[in-house]
Amino acid sequence: MKKLLLVAAIAGALPFAAQAESNFVSAASGTLTATARLNFTVTIPRVMYLQVGTGTNFSTVGTVDNLAFTVPGASVGAGGTIAGTGGDLGAGAVTVRVLGNAGDLSLKSGVTGQLSNGSSTIPWSAITVTAAPLTAGMTTGFTNAAITHPAFSTTSGAGPTATTFTSVNTVVRQESKWTFAYDNTGVYAPGTYGATVANNGVVTYTLTSP
């Protein structure tokens, strides 16, 4: 009975032993050489990562930053720009980080309409964006340079104007900083504009690969 169990155990192990390689050699004299091989396989999936504002590298974070611009009463329409508050970098500035390994990428920004207070509107052209390299919090392996902000567009499908990223060996790894401000050259009706989806205050950035 014990012999049968031993034979069964050896037979059961044979399929697993066949996955590795061994080589036995024997000779009465001279140099002996034995070789064995291993096969290595690495599988890389297609990936994409977009961060605009608060985020954690290569993770999904649900925080949406709020950028606010308050015009002083004595300065309405006086020209210049009004700095913002909010953003993960503060003062209306946000981190921008793009990663992909499936070729060139395209980034668009879409809005559902002009900024509204429920009855009047402010055009998105009144929001300015300055692109620059990050000065802190850079990520190893990423190109840190100014990434052009895609024009705000109310066109369906996030608009026709896009920022493109040219891949190197199908890989894109870039990061930047966007600083938003309010162009204070227009005079508009009083009220709080944007802030909610209903008042067209949400910008959706869409990154696509081939």
| CATH number, domain containing residue 182 | 2.60.40
Residue 169 inside a domain? The answer is yes
For the stretch 37-85, pLDDT in tens is 999 999 999 999 999 999 988 888 989 999 999 999 999 999 999 999 9
Residue 111 inside a domain? The answer is yes
Residue 12 inside a domain? The answer is no
* Percent of the chain residues past pLDDT 90, beyond the cut: 78
Q: What is the pLDDT of residue 9?
A: 46
Residue 74 inside a domain? The answer is yes
**Is residue 168's pLDDT more than 90?**
yes
Closest by CA to 207, choosing from 104, 69, 136, is 104
Residue 34 inside a domain? The answer is no
Q: How confident is the model at residue 157 (pLDDT cuts 50, 70, 90)?
A: very low
Strands 143-144 and 172-183: what pairing?
parallel
Q: Give the number of domains in the chain.
A: 1
Residue 89 belongs to what domain range? 48-208
